Chain A
Amino acid sequence: MTEPAGVEIAIQNPSPFWRGGTVVTPWKPIAEKRSISDTAVHLIDTLNDAVVPAQVDRIDRSDPERAVLVFTLPGAIEPGLEDYGRDCARFIVEEGVAADVPDAGIIDVTGKGVKLINEHLEAWLTLAADPCDDGRNWFGGAFTSIQVDRLEMLDAIAAVIGIHHDPEKRLQLDRIQIPRPPWAPGYLQYETMFDKSYRIESQTTGPVRASVTIASEPFSFVDKHPHTKVVQEFECSLHRVLSVYRGGDYIGEDVYLKAIAAGGAFATNFSFSTGYFLQMDLSLRPRVTHHPYVPDWFAVACDPAVAPRHGYAFATDRHSGHVYNPPPHYPNRDTEHKAFAWRIGPGKAARNVHTFKHGTLPESLSEASGQAWYEHIFKPMQARVL
């Protein structure tokens, strides 16, 4: 019997129902099993003798361990166990490219920002903190335009009437908090991110998704050894992996905080918590759905009487705190109804999904948000190397 040319993997469906979808799994265990070029891969569906398009995303050029294999299941697979204890399908990962599969999206780097584009979404991400060079230095890493089917979601009411767009509209990771060691003065280091510019760390496009990794301009974190009192300085940079998937109306976001010890002695990842700010016109009476017993997702919908009945939904693998509308100390009474802020709890990484919809109702949006949380965050499909 000849050995297969690739690496066999098993897929676990943690749901009690047939399910398809996208699988994102670390590339390293596969590459360790057999030398496969990561520039062109596909999967063989042995049961149906079919080729499944796939891609390997090198998320961080300086950290090969973060590379992931990404593919979409060709169909629904049978129910499995909630604890991922049962294999539900098998595939072989091989070198090669599935024929005639166009890229799922485009990463368009232009001027001071980058556009993430798929069939439905066109999202403009500002890299520069002051993109217009006019002193408004609070747009670092912000999505300042998000169009779904060519309708601007951040200012949809004005867009439907056909009038101006709010120059302050945006979705932004605007601050982080880094816990200090218990022996250090001050419990947290607060770091604003809205005033920091970002650079592109890497970008990939393939048959499943288009991704860009952005890294913030560095900032310092100082620690002191509890016994020797020797000061250790770290250069930190917030990394965000932003992805659009084929046919999806959402943006996937993975966040991690990279810290390099002074002199480059070693690199590590710090725990952190993040704050988000959203300026989006969801009518004078937006409806927030946020369940206290499942605080990992929420939805904010427009008053259903107002066209185009749009909304925003957020899901995360951490707990999301209270959704403030307006945020405390928001300075403008006239636009306070458009301003939202929330924080998510601490951890070494965060996985978030930002969904935008129009032509929906608050109840439908919250259902979609809960489903996005379940499928992408809480119970995603998983793969393991056999």
Chain B
Amino acid sequence: MALSIEEIAREAAVTKLGLDKAVREYFDTLDARLEEADERAQNTPVNSDMMFAALSLPIANGLIHFASTREKLISAEVWIREQLEDTRQEDVDPLATLSALTLIYLVHEGYVRNRADPKKAETWNRMIGRVKNLQKI
């Protein structure tokens, strides 16, 4: 059975890149940064989902460079190319793809943590919607 995008994102962020320890340690800061990105995207006159991606992908990318290692990144890039074997390889930027998957992982983890909080549920529901919309692009 094919893996869902959330499962692939978890595989990339946790198993391949080893980001789970940093996410556990700094989840409050990471959640706050994503909430800030969502709020800024919400107040922008352009497509808010695109703006959210523009603001939050650097957070995911930065987290990879902060919390992963060279060895893990190399093996994650090999893995991502294998996952996308049907795609023309020159069209694949493995690091950009890993950043997008890390963002999906961060949003899902944040959603699980915050969905029961009445003050935050709306924000995190919206963020889940944003990453779903981005997956359609």
Q: Residues of A with Cβ closer than 8 Å to B?
A: 157-158, 160-164, 281, 283-285, 303, 305-307, 333-334, 336-337
Contact = CB atoms under 8 A, between A and B. Distances in A.
B69 A334 contact: yes
B65 A164 contact: no
B58 A307 contact: yes
B95 A163 contact: no
Nearest to B60: A161
13 contacts: A161-B30, A162-B29, A162-B32, A163-B22, A163-B25, A283-B65, A285-B70, A305-B61, A305-B95, A305-B96, A306-B65, A337-B69, A337-B70
B126 interface: no
Contact of B66 (A163, A285, A305, A336): A163
Contacts of A333: 69, 71
A336 B70 contact: yes
Interface of B: 22, 25-26, 29-30, 32-33, 58-59, 61-66, 68-71, 73, 95-96
Contact of B29 (A161, A285, A306, A307): A161
B62 A284 contact: no
Nearest to A305: B61
Contacts of A334: 69
B137 to A, nearest CB: 19
B69 A281 contact: no
Closest 10 CB pairs of A and B: A283-B65, A163-B26, A307-B58, A162-B29, A157-B66, A157-B62, A161-B62, A284-B65, A306-B65, A334-B69
Contacts of B30: 161, 163
Nearest to A335: B69
A306 B70 CA distance: 15
Contacts of B69: 284, 333-334, 336-337
Contacts of B73: 284
Q: Secondary structure of the A side of the interface? A: loop
A5 to B, nearest CB: 59
B66 to A, nearest CB: 5
A307 to B, nearest CB: 5
A83 B111 CA distance: 67
Given A162-B29, A163-B26, A163-B29, A306 B61 contact: yes
Q: Secondary structure of the B side of the interface? A: helix
Contacts of B59: 161
Contacts of A307: 58, 61-62
Contacts of A283: 65
Given A162-B32, A163-B26, A164-B26, A281 B66 contact: yes
A337 B26 CA distance: 21
Contact of B65 (A157, A162, A336): A157
Contacts of A160: 58, 62
A285 B29 CA distance: 25
B66 A161 contact: yes
Contacts of A303: 65
A284 B29 contact: no
A162 B30 CA distance: 8
Given A305-B61, A307-B62, A284 B26 contact: no
A281 B66 CA distance: 8
A161 B95 contact: no
Given A163-B30, A305-B61, A336-B70, 5 more contacts: A161-B66, A162-B29, A306-B65, A307-B58, A336-B69
Given A157-B65, A307-B58, A162 B70 contact: no
B90 to A, nearest CB: 18
A281 B30 CA distance: 19
B20 to A, nearest CB: 14
B61 A162 contact: no
A285 B26 CA distance: 23
B99 to A, nearest CB: 8
Given A162-B29, A163-B26, A163-B29, A284 B58 contact: no
Contacts of B66: 157-158, 161, 163, 281
Contacts of B70: 284-285, 336-337
Contacts of A336: 69-70
B58 to A, nearest CB: 5
A160 B71 CA distance: 24
A305 B65 CA distance: 11
A283 B61 CA distance: 10
A303 B96 CA distance: 13
Nearest to A162: B29
B62 A306 contact: yes
A161 B61 CA distance: 10
Nearest to B93: A305
Nearest to A334: B69
Contacts of B96: 305
